[in-house]
Every structure is written in C-alpha cells, then in structure tokens.
A = this chain, B = another copy of it.
Amino acid sequence: MAINKKQSFGKKEQDLAECAKALAHPARIAILKVLAQHNECICGEIVSVLPLAQSTVSQHLKELKNAGLIIGTVDGPRSCYCINWKAFEKFNREFSFLFNHLKTEQACC
C-alpha cells in the first residue's frame, strides 16, 4: 500500500466514509444505543454494560468523539458523554443526498 489513496477522493466521500467508519464496530453501535436510551450523560455505566475492558471502551469513546458523533465533557473525576444529534442528522442528510438519485426504477439486475 504505497500511498494513502483515500486522499484522492472528494471531501464529501471522505467525510461520509469517516463517519461510517466510526459506526463500523458493534461496540460503538452499542455505546450509541446506550447513550440514546439514556439521553443523558453516563460514563462508567457504559463500561459495566459492555463486554470489554475499560481501556478499550475509552478508546471506542474517543473514536466516536473524534468523528463528532458524541460530545464529551469532563465533570470532576468523571467524564460525561452524550450523542451529538446534529452530527447524526447531518450524516443522514448527506447519506440520503448521495444516493437519492434515480432510484425510481431499476434498469437491470
């Protein structure tokens, strides 16, 4: 893999892929599910619910945060995460926009 080929695609494609990558692990889906159901900040609870070590969960949280899908704030000795709904809506919008062309009738297959 000589060079990073990802750079040679459009920004929209890259952003969408980036976002999808953050969703591309069941642990991260599970984290988002927990956050969505609570709709308020939790932290160690996620660790206790998932079948993963604390350090691994922390890493997954970091990835979701880097992708902008969740927001994290520090609250004393503990951290507080919640879903960034705006980012999700944006993802949905971009995603639909990209594929909502001509999907009326199938010409083949």
Contact = CB atoms under 8 A, between A and B. Distances in A.
A26 B39 contact: no
Contact of A36 (B23, B24, B71, B98): B98
Contact of A20 (B23, B27, B72, B82): B23
Interface of A: 5-6, 8-10, 13-14, 16-17, 20-21, 23-30, 32-33, 36-37, 39-41, 51-52, 71-73, 80-83, 85, 88, 92, 95-96, 98-103, 105-109
Given A9-B30, A82-B108, 14 more contacts: A5-B27, A6-B26, A6-B27, A10-B30, A17-B25, A17-B28, A20-B20, A24-B24, A36-B102, A39-B102, A39-B105, A40-B108, A82-B106, A92-B92
